Amino acid sequence: MQGRIVYREIKADILIIGTGAAGLRAAISAYDSGARDIIALGKCKWGDAHTILATGGINAALGTMDPKDSWMLHAADTIIDGGSIADFRYVNLMCRDAPRAVMELVKWGARFHKEPDGRVTQRFFGAATYRRACFYGDQTGKEMMRVLMAQVRKRRIRTMEDVFIVSMIASGKRVAGALAIDFFKGEIILFRAKAVVLAAGGYTKVYTRSSSRSYENQGDGAALALELGVGLVDMEMVQFHPTGMIYPKQAQGILVTEAVRGEGGLLFNAKGERFMGRYYPEKMELGPRDVVARAIYMEIKKGNGTKHGGVWLDITSMPKAKILERLPKMYRQFKEYAHVDISKQRMEVAPTAHYTMGGVDVSIKGETSIKGLYAVGETVGQVHGANRLGGNSLLETVVFGRIVGREAAALAKRQDFVEIDRKRALEEIAKVDRFFGKGGKPEDIRDEVRRAMWDHAGIARDRKTLAAGLRKIEKLERRFRAVRVRPGLKGNSDLKIAIETARMFGLCKAIMQSALMRTESRGAHYRTDYPKRDDRKWMANIVAKRSADGIKLGVRKVPTVTGPVAYYIKHRPKVEVKLLE
Ligand SMILES: Cc1cc2nc3c(=O)[nH]c(=O)nc-3n(C[C@H](O)[C@H](O)[C@H](O)COP(=O)(O)OP(=O)(O)OC[C@H]3O[C@@H](n4cnc5c(N)ncnc54)[C@H](O)[C@@H]3O)c2cc1C
């Protein structure tokens, strides 16, 4: 790029960044609301979005198995188990619309499991009062993607793959477009759009161990918004799943489903002790996700961990035939990666970052503080509060995807393209130039950032560790300024990693600073120096924004729940912990 910058300009009324479930549903809705000039793009191949990893199900109070279920109870479960800091207006909207959203998927051909009489089967998920998760085997996300992609194709919506958004462009307080690199073709693209939807996923990959794949959930959506001055909410709220693979290295973090424990799998430390009795004697291995994750973490920290830094999960009491019938994916996963036959040998597991509740601060219609810029899906915050219920994130993508697509279409109809200062826009892309030089290895520093996050802002936090972590991140950021990669765009994966890593620093600081500020424990956020929940002070969301001196934090009170859901919050039937899926 040194010298004159050559680029291709593409204009579209609506640009959707992300082709996971949220982006696809937004594209369909924008089209159905009258927009025709839409581009939906992803940085990976068409159809290969993180959503395909989703296994267990999507929630909706259909009441097919438990007729007493209702959207109000679904909302109450979501608010209570989200540590009461989710915005109840967003939660109500999502839960009320859930049956329609799921039946729409069925109408479009989703092959959710059905009872012999044709009712959609629903199964339990952790902390849900009734059976509410609709599923397609252990491939619910993949099935949703199949159906949504077919609907996008049917409408002939333009899609692009392998296009990596490098930065957003705004003109004053209005969005104007985005700059991208097509690493496949080796070209720069300047997108101009009236409305832009960020549907770029979450940020678990700022941690060493994450249940996402290495090339996604890097926090691009939140980072792109942060760079434009948009607020990020509750960034400290990161859900750690108790059981991820720990060995071999290339399998680190891959999810080991809760169903293993639901089917009778037992947890042991390296000394052979079934340690859950010390942490949650009532339900042992079937305690809530955050409790079991913390218990495993404590055992490892106490020195009771295995050679690779995990604990043992043992399902060998189950006959092989039953394992093959009930846990086929787990059987294959351990055989393939670790050469372990789980019907004969124990699994080595440890907690893994699984979902990010925090994200872009949006209105109930998905609007950000930049006009024309919307965000949806795992990229946003506020819907799950301090803890996400299994089955609610797939739901969020389709409910809010529909709303955001409609809003973007309405805006595109009444607004014209914003004039952009091309010179300034191209200066943005020229910043990429700074990475070019004698080829280095940006992943080394990226891995150190991830390690620092894991060690300092992981499952258990305290003031001293967080403050030291923040200093480490700042130091790594300074070191990163000297990182160079070989010049060129085509197939330059080092450049891609360098850009992704550069973005992580802002997010990591927002996570650390928010975690330092929240002097209490709530949901996924556990402070050893403030182990109790403090409702007097912290029924609040923390909003992080970029400023000239770094990340600035603000605090916003959570609105008080009113209406029928308030009743269900007080009078929720006793919740049984049923973590079978
Ligand atoms: C192992 C696993 C199991 C899960 N199981 C369940 C479940 O059973 N039920 C449930 O409700 N949830 C589940 N989840 C969570 C759920 O899968 C996600 O929250 C959800 O799929 C997120 O969808 P999304 O559309 O917001 O983002 P994603 O599916 O992550 O899509 C993001 C898109 O943005 C694109 N993108 C990102 N950055 C850029 C960039 N810079 N430029 C261009 N494009 C970009 C990506 O290429 C991709 O197309 C699970 C998650 C995991 C990891």
What is the average pLDDT across 438-459?
93
For residue 223, give the CATH number of its domain: 3.50.50.60
Range of the domain at 205: 7-237+355-423
| Dihedral angle over CA of 143, 146, 147, 149, nearest 10 | 150
Q: What is the pLDDT of residues 344-362, one digit of tens each?
A: 999 999 999 999 999 999 9
The residue among 139 and 554 whose pLDDT is bigger is 554
Residues 329 and 464 in one domain: no
Q: What is the pLDDT of residues 147-191, one digit of tens each?
A: 999 999 999 999 999 999 999 999 999 999 999 999 999 999 999
Residues 229 and 245 in one domain: no
Q: What is the pLDDT of residues 545-570, one digit of tens each?
A: 999 999 999 999 999 999 999 999 99
Residues 335 and 245 in one domain: yes
Residues 273 and 376 in one domain: no
Average pLDDT, the chain: 94
Residues 395 and 507 in one domain: no
Instruction: Using the 3D structure, point to which of 388, 423, 458 is the last residue of a domain.
Output: 423
Residue 576 has pLDDT above 60, yes or no: no
- Going from the Cα of 212 to the center of ligand 1, the distance in angstroms, rounded, reads 8
Is residue 41 one of the residues assigned to a domain? Answer: yes
- Going from the Cα of 377 to the center of ligand 1, the distance in angstroms, rounded, reads 8
- Give residues (CB < 6 A) around ligand 1: 17-23, 41-44, 49-51, 53-58, 140-141, 163-165, 199-201, 211-212, 216-217, 220, 255, 355, 377-379, 390-394, 397
Beta-carbon count within 10 A of 437 CB:
13
Residue 574 has pLDDT above 80, yes or no: no
Count of structural domains within the chain: 3
Residues 370 and 330 in one domain: no
How many Cα atoms within 13 Å fall on the side-chain side of residue 36?
Answer: 0
**157, 12 contact by CB (below 8 A):** no
Alpha helices in 385-441 (DSSP H): 392-414, 422-430
Residues 484 and 397 in one domain: no
* Residues labelled catalytic: 241, 261
Q: What is the pLDDT of residues 496-517, one digit of tens each?
A: 999 999 999 999 999 999 999 9
What predicted TM-score, i.e. pTM, was given to this entire model? 0.95
Instruction: Using the 3D structure, point to which of 399, 423, 447 is the last residue of a domain.
Output: 423
Q: What is the pLDDT of residues 323-332, one digit of tens each?
A: 998 788 899 9
Q: How does residue 577 score in pLDDT terms, banded at 50, 70 and 90?
A: low
Residues 36 and 161 in one domain: yes
Which atom of ligand 1 lies nearest, measured to the CA of 48? 49
Is residue 123 one of the residues assigned to a domain? Answer: yes
Residue 337 has pLDDT above 90, yes or no: yes
Q: How does residue 580 score in pLDDT terms, banded at 50, 70 and 90?
A: very low
Residue 136 has pLDDT above 70, yes or no: yes
For residue 541, give the CATH number of its domain: 1.20.58.100
Residue 579 has pLDDT above 80, yes or no: no
Rg value, the chain, Cα: 23
The token pair that represents 501 in the structure block: 């890593």
Q: Which residue matches tokens 């002790």?
A: 273
How many Cα atoms within 13 Å fall on the side-chain side of residue 256?
Answer: 35
Report which residue type is found at 304.
Answer: N
Give the integer Cα–Cα distance in Å for 205 and 20. Answer: 17
What is the average pLDDT across 387-396?
94
**53, 212 contact by CB (below 8 A):** yes
Is residue 307 one of the residues assigned to a domain? Answer: yes
Is residue 567 one of the residues assigned to a domain? Answer: no
pLDDT at residue 290, as a whole number: 83
- Going from the Cα of 378 to the center of ligand 1, the distance in angstroms, rounded, reads 7
Is residue 164 one of the residues assigned to a domain? Answer: yes
Q: How does residue 473 score in pLDDT terms, banded at 50, 70 and 90?
A: very high
Nearest CA to ligand 1 atom 5: 54
For residue 260, give the CATH number of its domain: 3.90.700.10
Q: How does residue 526 score in pLDDT terms, banded at 50, 70 and 90?
A: very high
pLDDT at residue 321, as a whole number: 94
Nearest to 69 by CA among 441, 341, 448, 391: 391
pLDDT at residue 518, as a whole number: 98
pLDDT at residue 1, as a whole number: 55
Nearest CA to ligand 1 atom 13: 54
Instruction: Using the 3D structure, point to which of 423, 445, 478 is the last residue of a domain.
Output: 423
Residue 218 has pLDDT above 90, yes or no: yes
Task: Output the CA angle 576-580-581, nearest 5 degrees.
Answer: 125
The token pair that represents 206 in the structure block: 């700022």
Give the integer Cα–Cα distance in Å for 286 and 266. Answer: 9
Is residue 390 one of the residues assigned to a domain? Answer: yes
- What is the arrangement of strands in the sheet containing 311-314, beginning at the earlier edge strand? 238-245, 347-356, 311-314, 266-268
Is residue 2 one of the residues assigned to a domain? Answer: no
Give the integer Cα–Cα distance in Å for 378 and 358. Answer: 8
Residues 262 and 379 in one domain: no
Q: What is the pLDDT of residues 259-287, one digit of tens each?
A: 788 788 999 999 999 999 999 998 888 87
DSSP assignment of 260-307: HHHTT-EEE-TTS--GGGGT-TTTGGGS-HHHHHHHHHHHIIIII--T
Residue 4 has pLDDT above 80, yes or no: no
Residues 504 and 550 in one domain: yes
Residue 368 has pLDDT above 90, yes or no: yes
Q: How does residue 2 score in pLDDT terms, banded at 50, 70 and 90?
A: low
Residues 221 and 266 in one domain: no
Is residue 578 one of the residues assigned to a domain? Answer: no
Q: How does residue 581 score in pLDDT terms, banded at 50, 70 and 90?
A: very low
**Substitution candidate for ligand 1 out of 51, 197, 228 with most atoms within 8 A of CB:** 51
Residues 365 and 489 in one domain: no
- Which percentage of the chain shows pLDDT scores above 90? 83
